[in-house]
Amino acid sequence: MEKLKHIHGRIVAIPVNDIDTDQIIPARFLKVTDKQGLGNAAFCDWRYLEDGETPNPDFILNKPEYRGASVLIAGDNFGCGSSREHAPWALLGAGFKAVISTDFADIFRNNALKNGLLPIIVDVDTQQQLFSLAEEDPGTAVSVDVEGQALTLPDGREVRFPLDGFSKYCLLNGVDQLGYLLALDDDVQAFESSNPQRVTTTA
Amino acid sequence: MTNNGKPRTLFEKVWNAHIVRDQSDDSPAVLYIDLHLVHEVTSPQAFSMLRERDLRVRRPDQTIGTMDHSTPTTPRNDLGIIPVADVMAAKQLDTFTKNCDDFDIPMYALGDEHQGIVHVIGPEKGLTQPGMTIVCGDSHTSTHGAFGALAFGIGTSEVGHVLATQTLLQNKPKTMAVNVEGRLSDGVTAKDIILAIISRIGIGGGTGHVFEYRGEAIRSLGMEGRMTVCNMSIEGGARAGMVAPDDTTFEYIHGRQHAPSGADWDAAIANWRRLPTDDGAVFDKEITLRADELIPMITYGTNPGMGIPINAAVPTPEAETDFNRKIALDKALTYMDLQPGQKLLGKSIDVVFIGSCTNSRISDLRQAAQFIKGRQVADSVRMMVVPGSQQVKKQAESEGLDRIFREAGAEWREAGCSMCIAMNGDQLQPGQYAVSTSNRNFEGRQGKGGRTFLASPLTAAASAVAGAVTDPRTMLTGLN
């Protein structure tokens, strides 16, 4: 995982509540065995017309003025539904570095953080302000300081967002969480020796 | 399990018993995992990671694999094999076989007599037991909470963590008591309970929480009904849902392949009886529903929170005061091609799907078969019945349920996730309407452009016969 300390990027808004991971990447794209190349599948059924190939000119991500946006502003409860980690893989593949919403589904949030895609929780007023800014001026950009947990809006206003210390450490240092768990092997062995195995699948 | 005199919830007891390292300001808790279920779709990248880092699977003896998501449910060929026509699915299944072989994980391949949906086979084999921690790279892992286990879905990175270390980093969730008081009326089932709960709290209402389903209506359900309820906890935003184990639980587990036996059984029961929430324990949130006020439920929209009593009208966006919710409702009705204020009763449908980890167990199939016996599926309807596992299929066939479905004009298929996820050849065509016993009605979930009404197996069977959305209670006469 690459270090993530700052993000500066243009915003694009999909002001829809409860965007589920089936919309972020439909299940038919889950037959892969790696993480690469999923960017084209991001929001596939919204992005393309019925033939699945022709870009839908009305969908915001297809509008030329929003190309290259790296911060997605979304409606409430983003990422609900399936646990597929293909959702953050697809968003990263499509060039996003952060998603801003009032709320994220638990599994999506965990998955995003493990891949260096930053879920930023803001209050509803900030969300609505960003929706308006994105619509009025496609050139609108925001800055994010991961260390300071601060989102800076175009008017200079700074909005703080929550981020647990452990995830922050991993993002800033570009380390994944597995190394931490592997280093606890003695603790795991101690747990196993004092707690009987519950089931044996190989029996 | 120490108590220190403070009353604890079922969740807290299971959580505390699995802490390898407690939560601190710097790091989440490290939780020990008793059972890890793996399948072909969310595991390949985790196994690749193990190979890249030269790691082993720490506890293959606490891991089990099955093929379910991308597998076809079409009939076997003359050699008894279920052919996989989709090249990408075949490659994914081959990769899964190799991964399980290389890392010594027991696995049920497509067509094996124990193969099936991961959340059907865990309980069926007696692997799912009270007080355990169970994870799987699938959000419907919450199903196993019906046994008083703490069970939740994880992402693929976390699948890698559990494969390599048998532990997970987790922030402690909050708790929410979901009380369902009173008794269900005839024709109203576990599925209607959970659809009613989700329509009340909304699709994000349980975010950050673990549900404990309590009350007379829950206690009166059999294990398969409790599994249906817990299965859809995630559709209310909760990662896990639990039911305190009781005699119904023990009776279900007893004698199954991986259940404790002899003296171990007695010791296990004694432990399990200590799991239920103590009197006076406090939940972070609490809601109560009356089961006797429920009627069959159905969804009209594009998320499982958009549900109504089957005889009610589709909501009107103009009546919605919250702007974002109004937009969402407008969008849903446009996708579903429904009018505000319209009744769903009598709405023509094209497909009925009975199956999925929500409603594909033997009691679901019995209920649907009993209803459909002596009746015919409407000519305009394609009805698919997909058993949750090969064992469910075998049991159903031994009871002649397959014949009942076939004689009524329904398709009787091989076991798998099938049309719930539409990545295996079973799917709706654009514009089609389905009454489905599965768990998600998201746009395109059952096939691009397809429109899903979620309902119980009884409502699905009644709608198949009528060719339109139908309240099963109007057709119950003459049934035992």
Choose the closest CB to A201 out of B86, B127, B235: B127
A24: closest CA of chain B, how far (Å):
11
Find, in chain A, the residue whose alpha carbon is nearest to that of B173.
A106
Which of B19, B45, B69 is the best mutation test for A, with the most CBs of A within 10 A? B45
Burial A107-116 (b: 16+ CB within 10 A, else e): bbbbbbbbbb
**B203–A52: do the CB atoms touch at under 8 Å?**
no
pLDDT tens per residue, range A51-107: 888 999 999 999 999 999 999 999 999 999 999 999 999 999 999 999 999 999 999
pLDDT of residue B1: 45
Round to the nearest angstrom and report the end-to-end CA distance of chain A: 38
pLDDT of residue B4: 67
**B303–A18: do the CB atoms touch at under 8 Å?**
yes
Tell me which H or E stretch contains B155. Answer: none
pLDDT tens per residue, range A27-50: 999 999 999 999 999 999 999 998
Chain B residues with CB inside 8 Å of A185's CB? Answer: 165
Burial B248-271 (b: 16+ CB within 10 A, else e): bbbebbeebebbbeeeeeeebbeb
Confidence of residue A199 (pLDDT cuts 50, 70, 90): very high
**A34–B45: do the CB atoms touch at under 8 Å?**
yes
Rounded to 10 deg, the angle between the B87-102 and B44-52 helix axes is 50
Complete domains list, chain A, with CATH: 6-174 (3.20.19.10)
Question: Rounded to an integer, what distance in angstroms lies between the CA atom of residue B406 and that of residue B420?
Answer: 21
HSE-up of B450 (CA within 13 Å, CB side)? 27
Question: Rounded to an integer, what distance in angstroms lies between the CA atom of residue B144 and that of residue B118?
Answer: 10
B173 contacts B167 by C-beta, under 8 angstroms: no
B445 contacts B332 by C-beta, under 8 angstroms: no
**B207–A35: do the CB atoms touch at under 8 Å?**
no
Q: Tell if the pTM clears 0.95, that is, is over it.
A: yes
**B155–A28: do the CB atoms touch at under 8 Å?**
no
**B25–A111: do the CB atoms touch at under 8 Å?**
no
What is this model's ipTM? 0.97
Choose the closest CB to B444 out of A31, A45, A77: A45
Find, in chain B, the residue whose alpha carbon is nearest to that of A77.
B204
B375 contacts B343 by C-beta, under 8 angstroms: no
Query: Could you tell me where the DSSP H helices lie in chain A?
Result: 21-24, 44-47, 86-93, 106-114, 124-136, 165-173, 178-182, 185-194
The backbone torsions φ and ψ at residue B305, rounded to the nearest 5 degrees and listed phi first, read: -75, -15
Chain B residues with CB inside 8 Å of A184's CB? Answer: 20-21, 30, 165, 167
**A187–B20: do the CB atoms touch at under 8 Å?**
yes
Question: Rounded to an integer, what distance in angstroms lies between the CA atom of residue B347 and that of residue A74?
Answer: 33
B354 contacts B460 by C-beta, under 8 angstroms: yes
Chain B residues with CB inside 8 Å of A19's CB? Answer: none
Find, in chain B, the residue whose alpha carbon is nearest to that of A131.
B324
- How would you class B76 by CB atoms within 10 Å of its CB: exposed for 0-12, middle for 13-18, buried for 19 or more? exposed
Q: Which residues contact B131 (CB under 8 A, 6 or more apart)?
A: A198, B13, B14, B17, B148, B149, B245, B271, B272, B275
What are the DSSP calls for B59-105, one per residue? -GGGEEEE--SS---PPP-TTS------HHHHHHHHHHHHHHHHTT-
Question: Rounded to an integer, what distance in angstroms lies between the CA atom of residue B20 and that of residue B161?
Answer: 14
pLDDT of residue B282: 97
Structural tokens at position A107: 């599994």
Residue-level pLDDT, tens digit, chain B, 480 residues:
445 689 999 999 999 999 999 999 889 999 999 999 999 999 999 999 999 999 999 999 999 999 999 999 999 999 999 999 999 999 999 999 999 999 999 999 999 999 999 999 999 999 999 999 999 999 999 999 999 999 999 999 999 999 999 999 999 999 999 999 999 999 999 999 999 999 999 999 999 999 999 999 999 999 999 999 999 999 999 999 999 999 999 999 999 999 999 999 999 999 999 999 999 999 999 999 999 999 999 999 999 999 999 999 999 999 998 888 899 999 999 999 999 999 999 999 999 999 999 999 999 999 999 999 999 999 999 999 999 999 999 999 999 999 999 999 999 999 999 999 999 999 999 999 999 999 999 999 999 999 999 999 999 999 999 999 999 999 986 544
Number of residues in chain B? 480
Partners of B133 in the beta sheet? B150
